[in-house]
Amino acid sequence: MSGMLTQGWESDNSQFHARRRACLSAGGRRAGRLAVLLVERDTDLVRELLDALAGQPVEVKACADPAEALLQVGRTCPDVVVVGPGGGRLDAAEFLTILRADDPDLPVVAAAGPGSGDFAVRATELGATAVVPRPYRPRELLRLLRSFAPRPDQVDLRPLPIDLGRLRVDGAVPQFWLDGRTVPLPPMEFLLLRYFAERVGAVLTRKELLQAVWGDRGAATHSNTLSVHVLRLRKRLGDDEADPQWIKVVRGLGYRFTVPGSEPRSPDVHPR
């Protein structure tokens, strides 16, 4: 079966070539947005990635079958193709072989993880532009995908949410979720919490925090302003002021942010 598909694709008169030529000649590129074809058989990984990229200037078309994905290359003119191991009528290696024979320049990202065997090595040999971990890390993958856009400067990415187990901090809206409960925040407290959440366990000086949150005004901002914002954040997090567990003072140095009662997660893990 795969041999017949390969012959059909490689024919200059094939429907695949015709559709792709028509798409490209019609100017299929989308200004300010990135078109991604995801070739992935694991429906849970597809759903998680689609959830993570919701609200981003990224259009994702997912295909479980590499043979169907070849049709979609011609129909949708993707800016980037992301392909995981496995397959159906074609396997991932055959998909890469056929795709590269037709379009050597189309960016192709191969996803490999535990159980993928030598797929990462094989994909590189077959012309994959980059290899990323699987399961996918949305934050890293999004930055990589943006770099492949025809005009990366025109693709305006939205900050991704930060998931730390019990605590989830929104990517752009000033709010967080604590044990499933939504808590709105004033803008400066939101910026301070995101900065803390992105650096769990690190000791952050008062000077660094003032500069990061208040920017050019940081040097002129009174140190007491930071103390007040930390106090308010502690209250919203349900922290004990006498024995704080979320935002701890490191005497003579600054503050350390931790998540009590939960194993910290990488910020790249998207909340469910």
Query: pLDDT tens digits, residue range 98-151?
Result: 999 988 999 999 999 887 778 999 999 999 999 999 999 998 999 999 999 888
Exposed, middle or buried: residue 32 (CB in 10 Å: 0-12, 13-18, 19+)?
A: exposed
Q: How confident is the model at residue 221 (pLDDT cuts 50, 70, 90)?
A: low
What CATH fold (topology level) applies to the domain 162-257? Answer: Arc Repressor Mutant, subunit A (1.10.10)
Asked if 101 and 10 touch (Cβ cutoff 8 Å), the reply is yes
% of the chain residues with pLDDT over 70: 82
User: What pTM value is reported for the model?
Assistant: 0.66
In the predicted model, what is the mean pLDDT of residues 233-250? 94
Q: How confident is the model at residue 203 (pLDDT cuts 50, 70, 90)?
A: very high
Per-residue DSSP letters for the chain?
-HHHHHHHHHSTTSHHHHHHHHHHHTT---TT-EEEEEE---HHHHHHHHHHTTTSSEEEEEES-HHHHHHHHHHH--SEEEE-S-BSSSBHHHHHHHHHHH-TTS-EEEEE-TT-TTHHHHHHHTT-SEEEESS--HHHHHHHHHHTSSSGGG--PPPPPEE-SSEEE-SSSSEEEETTEEEE--HHHHHHHHHHHTTTT-EEEHHHHHHHHHGGGTTTS-HHHHHHHHHHHHHHTT--SSS-SSEEEETTTEEEE--TTS----TTSPP-
Domain range annotation of the chain? 2-154, 162-257
Class of domain 2-154: alpha beta
Q: Give the list of residues 6+ apart from residue 55 with CB closer than 8 angstroms, or none.
A: 158, 171
Q: How confident is the model at residue 206 (pLDDT cuts 50, 70, 90)?
A: very high
- pLDDT for the residue numbered 75: 84
Q: With CA atoms as reference, report the closest residue to 111 among 81, 66, 143.
A: 81
Burial annotation 118-140 (CB, 10 A radius, 16+ → b, else e): ebbebbeebbbbbbbebbbbbbe
Q: With CA atoms as reference, report the closest residue to 197 among 219, 213, 182.
A: 213
- pLDDT for the residue numbered 20: 54
- pLDDT for the residue numbered 30: 59
The pLDDT of residue 270 is above 50: no
Model pLDDT for residues 3-36, shown as the tens digit of each residue: 544 444 444 444 445 555 556 555 555 567 899 9
- pLDDT for the residue numbered 25: 57
Domains 2-154 and 162-257 share a fold: no
Exposed, middle or buried: residue 222 (CB in 10 Å: 0-12, 13-18, 19+)?
A: exposed
